């Protein structure tokens, strides 16, 4: 009797085109005008590659937000996905999927040790004011042996900063409604990588040598382009163009003025 074999599932992969096509589900007007996110169209495929995840892996998506994009894509690829965020509207705009959404603080999570094979934290750690070290220790606790944790944060080797926005942002108003930290190498090591106790496996630096298209996507000072993208059907075109502008680069390619359009993606191994 022939011995049965079980093939290893193919790795979970994602391209910029896959992401742009996925966001079409949010509605034609939103897709054509606001469009898929410029940075995420580059970051998500890189994070997925570094995760080295396969169907059946238990994935924790940290800071999943109201749309749960990465979590939903991973669940559709057969991963067992839990998505967390402290926000009230977590997952409210997420497409139907098998994702488990849970409101939780990443600094203290209600899971047992070694619960997850893979953990992703895309543009999340930098928003936890004063809590990066506690968060990284907690995520490391949850990572199973031979697991991988992949994160992305704003990065610039030439500067570091804490950014506070008051007034209105993301539909919220008030005092200090938005906080973000930009990391240089020292802060990245001392506040994130060191406290995790995990081994760094790979690091990808992203910036925009030459044309800084992100300023026209995110910043109102990028007029008239920033106004145009909300009125003309250019949203998916900007996202599809992003890999040509926002791309892996050496530290020497960074400009001291870079905030948007500058990031580090780091893969850590248990």
pLDDT at 3 over 80: no
DSSP class of residue 85? E
pLDDT tens profile 124-154: 999 888 889 999 999 999 999 999 999 999 9
Average pLDDT of span 38-46:
97
Number of domains within the chain: 1
171, pLDDT greater than 60:
no
pLDDT at 69: 97
How much is the pTM? 0.91
Helix (H) or strand (E) holding 75: helix 69-76
Task: For residue range 71-125, list pLDDT tens digits in order.
Answer: 999 999 999 999 999 999 999 999 999 999 999 999 999 999 999 999 999 999 9
Looking at every residue in the chain, the average pLDDT score rounds to 89
Whether residue 185 lies inside any domain: the answer is yes
pLDDT value for 199: 98
Instruction: List, in sequence order, every residue forming a beta bridge with 155; answer none if it has no partner.
Output: 183
Examine residue 7 and state whether it is found in any structural domain, yes or no. no
The reply to whether 229 falls in a domain is no
Residue 92 lies in a domain: yes
User: How many Cβ atoms from other residues are within 10 Å of residue 204's Cβ?
Assistant: 20
Residue 5 lies in a domain: no
Residue 24: how many other CB atoms lie within 10 Å: 13
Q: Dihedral sign for Cα 46, 242, 193, 136, please.
A: negative
**Domain span including residue 44:** 16-24+35-208+246-269
CA–CA separation, 42 and 244 (whole Å): 10
pLDDT for residue 263 is more than 80: yes
The pLDDT value recorded for residue 225 is 63
Residue 234 lies in a domain: no
Lowest mean pLDDT segment, chosen from 19-28, 41-50, 145-154, 214-223 = 214-223
pLDDT of 2 reads 46
Considering the domain boundaries, does residue 220 fall inside one? no
> What CATH number corresponds to the domain at position 92?
3.40.50.150
Residue 215 lies in a domain: no
What is the reported pLDDT for 22?
96
Distance from C-alpha of 194 to C-alpha of 144, rounded to nearest angstrom: 18
């Amino acid at each position: 009797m022939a011995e049965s074999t079980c093939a290893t599932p193919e790795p979970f992969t994602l391209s910029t085109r896959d992401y742009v096509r996925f966001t079409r589900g949010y509605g034609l007007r939103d897709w054509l005008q606001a469009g898929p996110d410029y940075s995420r169209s580059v970051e998500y495929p890189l994070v997925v590659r570094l995760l080295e995840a396969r169907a059946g892996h238990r994935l924790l998506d940290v800071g999943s937000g109201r749309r749960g994009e990465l979590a939903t894509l991973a669940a559709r690829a057969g991963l067992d996905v839990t998505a967390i965020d402290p926000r009230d509207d977590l997952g409210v705009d997420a497409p139907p999927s098998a994702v488990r959404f849970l409101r939780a603080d990443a600094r203290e999570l209600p899971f047992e040790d070694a619960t997850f094979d893979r953990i992703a934290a895309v543009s999340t750690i930098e928003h936890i004011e004063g809590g990066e070290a506690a968060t990284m220790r907690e995520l490391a606790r949850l990572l199973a042996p031979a697991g991988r944790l992949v994160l992305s944060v704003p990065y610039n080797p030439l500067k570091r900063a804490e950014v506070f926005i008051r007034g209105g942002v993301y539909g919220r108003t008030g005092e200090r409604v938005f906080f973000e930290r930009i990391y240089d190498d020292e802060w990245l090591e001392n506040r994130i990588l060191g406290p995790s106790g995990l081994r760094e496996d790979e690091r990808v630096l992203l910036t925009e040598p030459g044309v800084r298209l992100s300023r026209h996507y995110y910043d109102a000072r990028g007029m008239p382009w920033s106004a145009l993208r909300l009125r003309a059907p250019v949203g998916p075109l900007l996202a599809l163009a992003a890999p040509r502008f926002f791309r892996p680069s050496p530290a020497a390619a960074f400009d001291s003025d870079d905030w948007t359009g500058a990031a580090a993606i780091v893969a850590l191994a248990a």
